[in-house]
């Protein structure tokens, strides 16, 4: 097994815009924070892709032998409808529309979020804190920022003063924006606005009488700003400076930019060494949006009940599809793309199923140790899952050639091949083998093997009508028979 000692990992750091050699703050340990969902609706497929990318990254760190504290939050308060400082809290709005308590909304969609991630075979994070569970910590941070002169209070609300902060720090360094340009491109504040500048953002908002979600504070009843929760929870569980902060590309500005400002205002230094951002998912070449109808939920893919796809696709096929693109690339989901991924997934699983059956010889005709390192090299290059998958299919080709006795493998190399395939296919990419996850798979396998035996007897008796009937009816059920010199195998 490879270890952290003999692998050099490079990560694309959004803060520098470059690939950098990864060096953890504490050797052998990693602190990683990823912005989780705002639980006011069913989890979006695009969000699933982001969380899946970081699940894969988490898995690879574990394979390398790191001890990882992975924190992924639940936003259950403070996220306003327009992602700025006006409008209604997303959860409070949903609660009002459905005549529910806000925490009923939170519970319903948190359960949905966990159910979908379980279907996709996600590993749970080490800690999954909630915004409402850390109100005290958020209030303490606001008090600290106010005391240091980077915020101001107006009528029970507290705002971060971006102009004051920018005099001694650099606001906009993550997104590459200059404050001067932001100011020149911004219209004047509305007369009723409490902010000194349009760039300022809320740390605490006063709760109007009709606002459902509210907590007492030194400035009166209110609720925290959206950006504040991540600063509070990440620093509480990972420290003032930690290794990795991740999230979707859409969070880079303003959310992550504001996180950096808040943390630097409190602690005087940058909170994160490596910022990672996953890119968006499109549907049939267009941005996914409920308003245009160009949207699909994970369960609609699993059941096939949607207007976009010709059939249902399993969570592992969808996961395999997503892993075929680099996490920083835009990925387009379509019927053709999923059909192609299903074929590739089935081919990969078939090879893994046949692995234990391949014969061994005294020599290997392929350098499996070099191939193993190439799999690590792919992941060491900013978690390049598409290159890794290409390497895995080199192994699939070798397995098929060895079965046909066109290539050879030693017992030692067969062990390397088996361990590496299982490590990367199941432990890192997080795929599941349909034959191991279906409770009735062993019974199905037994029935198909019996039919194969009956077909063999029919062929030996020159009863080709029965032989063809067995093959054709199995094919109609999606079970493909393959005749070879070592006998007949099947693929679902």
Lookup: tokens for 348: 């990969």
CATH number for the domain harbouring residue 419: 1.10.730
Q: How confident is the model over 72-89, as a mean pLDDT?
A: 84
What is the spatial distance between Cα 369 and Cα 376, in angstroms, rounded to a whole number?
11
DSSP designation for 295: -
pTM: 0.88
Based on the domain organization, do 251 and 369 belong to the same domain?
Answer: no
- 295 part of a folded domain: no
Based on the domain organization, do 44 and 184 belong to the same domain?
Answer: yes
**pLDDT by residue (tens digit) across 147-203?**
999 999 999 999 999 999 999 999 999 999 999 888 877 766 555 589 999 999 999
What is the spatial distance between Cα 412 and Cα 122, in angstroms, rounded to a whole number?
32
Based on the domain organization, do 382 and 480 belong to the same domain?
Answer: no
**pLDDT by residue (tens digit) across 206-251?**
999 988 899 999 999 999 999 999 999 999 999 999 999 999 999 9
Question: Looking at residue 60, what is its pLDDT?
Answer: 98
- 255 part of a folded domain: yes
**pLDDT by residue (tens digit) across 365-399?**
999 999 999 999 999 999 999 999 999 999 999 99
Of 369, 453, 354, residue with least CA distance to 410: 369
- Domain endpoint, select from 278, 300, 331: 278
Based on the domain organization, do 456 and 416 belong to the same domain?
Answer: no
Q: Let me know: does 309 contact 339? Beta carbons within 8 Å.
A: no
CA triplet 182, 187, 189: central angle to 5 degrees?
105
**pLDDT by residue (tens digit) across 248-269?**
999 999 999 999 999 999 999 9
Q: Which helix (H) or strand (E) holds 483?
A: strand 480-484
Question: Looking at residue 1, what is its pLDDT?
Answer: 43
- 6 part of a folded domain: no
DSSP designation for 251: G
What is the spatial distance between Cα 29 and Cα 299, in angstroms, rounded to a whole number?
36
What is the spatial distance between Cα 180 and Cα 160, in angstroms, rounded to a whole number?
17
Residue 453 phi/psi, 5-degree rounding, is -65, -40
Based on the domain organization, do 226 and 114 belong to the same domain?
Answer: yes
Buried b (16+ CB within 10 A) or exposed e, 412-438: ebbebbeebbebbbbebbbbbbbeeee
- Domain endpoint, select from 418, 436, 454: 436
Q: How many domains does the chain have?
A: 3
Based on the domain organization, do 443 and 430 belong to the same domain?
Answer: no
Of 376, 452, 386, residue with least CA distance to 420: 376
- Domain endpoint, select from 436, 461, 479: 436
Q: How confident is the model over 57-83, as a mean pLDDT?
A: 93
Question: Would you place residue 308 in the very low, low, confident or very high pLDDT band (cuts 50, 70, 90)?
Answer: very high
CATH number for the domain harbouring residue 118: 3.40.50.620
Classify 143 as helix, strand or coil. helix
- 283 part of a folded domain: no
Question: Would you place residue 292 in the very low, low, confident or very high pLDDT band (cuts 50, 70, 90)?
Answer: confident
CB atoms within 10 A of CB 47: 20
Based on the domain organization, do 326 and 406 belong to the same domain?
Answer: yes
Based on the domain organization, do 135 and 38 belong to the same domain?
Answer: yes
In DSSP terms, 276 is beta-bridged to 246
Of 154, 35, 40, residue with least CA distance to 106: 40
Average pLDDT, the chain: 93
- 267 part of a folded domain: yes
Question: Would you place residue 488 in the very low, low, confident or very high pLDDT band (cuts 50, 70, 90)?
Answer: confident
Lookup: tokens for 314: 């399993």
Q: Let me know: does 244 contact 274? Beta carbons within 8 Å.
A: yes
Radius of gyration of the chain (CA): 27
What is the spatial distance between Cα 113 and Cα 115, in angstroms, rounded to a whole number?
6
Q: Let me know: does 220 contact 206? Beta carbons within 8 Å.
A: yes
**pLDDT by residue (tens digit) across 318-331?**
999 999 999 999 99
Lookup: tokens for 105: 């909304």
Lookup: tokens for 59: 């898995």
- State the sign of the Cα–Cα–Cα–Cα dihedral 82, 85, 91, 97: negative
- Is 80 exceeded by the pLDDT of residue 71? yes
- 9 part of a folded domain: no
Based on the domain organization, do 359 and 467 belong to the same domain?
Answer: no
- 4 part of a folded domain: no
Based on the domain organization, do 368 and 231 belong to the same domain?
Answer: no
What is the spatial distance between Cα 351 and Cα 400, in angstroms, rounded to a whole number?
7
Based on the domain organization, do 317 and 465 belong to the same domain?
Answer: no
Based on the domain organization, do 272 and 321 belong to the same domain?
Answer: no
Residue 332 phi/psi, 5-degree rounding, is -105, 125
Lookup: tokens for 236: 């509480």
Of 230, 270, 225, 267, residue with least CA distance to 247: 230
For 148, the domain range is 17-278
- 253 part of a folded domain: yes
Question: Looking at residue 2, what is its pLDDT?
Answer: 47
Better pLDDT: 142 or 458? 142
Better pLDDT: 15 or 442? 15
Q: Let me know: does 308 contact 279? Beta carbons within 8 Å.
A: no
Better pLDDT: 490 or 100? 100
């Amino acid at each position: 097994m490879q270890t952290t000692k003999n692998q050099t990992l490079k990560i694309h750091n959004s803060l520098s815009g470059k690939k950098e050699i990864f060096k953890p703050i504490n050797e052998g340990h990693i602190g990683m924070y990823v912005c989780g969902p705002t639980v006011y609706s069913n989890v979006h497929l695009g969000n699933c892709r982001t969380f899946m990318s970081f699940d894969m990254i988490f898995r690879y760190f574990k394979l390398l032998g790191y001890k990882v504290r992975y924190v992924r939050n639940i936003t259950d308060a403070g996220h306003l409808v327009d992602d700025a400082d006006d409008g209604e809290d997303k959860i409070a709005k949903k609660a009002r529309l459905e005549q529910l308590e806000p925490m009923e909304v939170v519970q319903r969609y948190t359960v949905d979020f966990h159910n979908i991630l379980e279907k996709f075979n996600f590993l749970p994070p080490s800690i999954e804190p909630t915004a409402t569970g850390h109100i005290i910590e958020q209030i303490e941070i606001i008090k600290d920022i106010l005391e240091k002169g980077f915020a101001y209070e107006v009528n029970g609300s507290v705002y971060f003063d971006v102009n004051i902060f920018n005099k001694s720090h650099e606001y906009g360094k993550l997104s590459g924006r200059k404050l001067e340009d932001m100011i020149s491109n911004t219209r004047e504040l509305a007369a009723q606005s409490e902010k000194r500048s349009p760039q300022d953002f809320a740390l605490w908002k006063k709760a109007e009488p009709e606002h459902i979600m509210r907590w007492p504070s030194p400035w009166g009843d209110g609720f925290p700003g959206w950006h504040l929760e991540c600063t509070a929870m990440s620093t509480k569980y990972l420290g003032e400076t930690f290794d990795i902060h991740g999230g979707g590309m859409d969070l880079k500005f303003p959310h992550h930019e504001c996180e950096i400002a808040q943390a630097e205002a409190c602690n005087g230094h940058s909170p994160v060494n490596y910022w990672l951002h996953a890119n968006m998912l499109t549907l049939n070449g267009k941005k996914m949006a409920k308003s245009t109808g160009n949207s699909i939920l994970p369960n609609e893919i699993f059941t096939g009940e949607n207007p976009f796809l010709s059939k249902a696709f399993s969570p592992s096929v969808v996961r395999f599809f997503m892993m075929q693109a680099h996490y920083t690339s835009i990925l387009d989901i379509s019927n053709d793309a999923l059909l192609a991924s299903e074929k590739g997934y089935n081919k990969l699983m078939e090879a893994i199923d046949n692995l234990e059956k391949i014969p061994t010889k005294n020599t290997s005709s392929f350098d499996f140790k070099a191939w193993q390192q190439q799999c690590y090299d792919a992941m060491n290059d900013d978690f390049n899952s598409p290159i890794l998958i290409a390497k895995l299919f080199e192994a699939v080709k070798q397995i098929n050639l060895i079965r046909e006795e066109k290539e050879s493998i030693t017992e030692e190399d067969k062990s390397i091949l088996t361990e590496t395939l299982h490590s990367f296919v199941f432990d890192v990419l997080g795929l599941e083998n349909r034959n191991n996850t279906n409770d009735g798979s062993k019974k199905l396998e037994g029935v198909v093997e019996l039919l194969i035996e009956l077909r063999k007897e029919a062929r030996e008796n020159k009863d080709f009508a029965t032989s063809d009937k067995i093959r054709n009816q199995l094919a109609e059920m999606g079970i493909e028979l393959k005749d070879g010199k070592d006998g007949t195998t099947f693929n679902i």
